[in-house]
Amino acid sequence: MRLKDSTRTSSNFYLALELCNGGDLYTFVRARGGSLSEQETRIVFRRVVQGMAAIKEQDVVHRDLKLDNIMLHFSELRSNVCADKNFNMAEYIRAFDFRQHHQSIRVKIADLGFARKLQANELALTFIGTPLNMAPEIVFGYEYCHKADVWSLGCLFYQMLTGYQPFMA
């Protein structure tokens, strides 16, 4: 997600980010019944992978990839539609036809608060992220690199298809 503006007070930082009118992927999946079809998952997942590839090109490891940190924007929705007091986003999401409108979905990767730039051949060691999506090397305290994000991508894929975390402990 793009940072539009920021400001700081004596006790807080405020970030103004670009609008993602579809909310996060976790809420989207829940509104669609708890999981997505294989076709829907492929469409969204392909875009997440493209975003992660762009992040990796900058030598950055995300370290907290999860459904909550993937944002959606529906370019067909205009701000005046969302401002309509009768507009119901949950109903819109439930009725969304991927076959017809999949090109109107923009997928954005958010919350790079735990992200870190890794130089060539550098490894990280910090225990950081969301435990149920963490790669084993992070959980066990080993050094890790960008490949840890690939593990998290697998967790995302599984969750979109099944509605469940791949590991519960």
- The CATH code of the domain that includes 149 is 1.10.510.10
**Single-letter amino acid code for the residue at 125:** L
Please indicate, yes or no, if residue 169 is contained in any of the structural domains: no
Please indicate, yes or no, if residue 106 is contained in any of the structural domains: yes
Please indicate, yes or no, if residue 27 is contained in any of the structural domains: yes
Q: Specify the number of domains making up the chain.
A: 1
Name the more confident of 77 and 53: 53
Q: 100: pLDDT confidence band, cut at 50, 70 and 90?
A: confident
Using a 10 angstrom Cβ sphere, with 0-12 exposed, 13-18 middle and 19 or more buried, the burial of residue 29 is buried
pLDDT at 80 over 60: no
Average pLDDT value for the chain: 87
pLDDT at 10 over 80: yes
- 38, 161 Cβ separation under 8 angstroms: yes
In this prediction, residue 63 carries a pLDDT of 86
* pTM of the full structure: 0.82
Please indicate, yes or no, if residue 15 is contained in any of the structural domains: yes
The stretch 34-57 carries a mean pLDDT of: 94
In this prediction, residue 130 carries a pLDDT of 86
Say how far apart CA 167 and CA 19 lie, in whole Å. Answer: 32
pLDDT digits (tens, 9 = 90+) for 147-161: 999 999 999 999 999
Q: Which residue range is the domain that position 53 belongs to?
A: 3-162
Please indicate, yes or no, if residue 168 is contained in any of the structural domains: no
Active site residues: 64
Please indicate, yes or no, if residue 41 is contained in any of the structural domains: yes
Please indicate, yes or no, if residue 12 is contained in any of the structural domains: yes
In this prediction, residue 156 carries a pLDDT of 96
Please indicate, yes or no, if residue 167 is contained in any of the structural domains: no
Question: Percent of the chain at pLDDT above 70?
Answer: 95
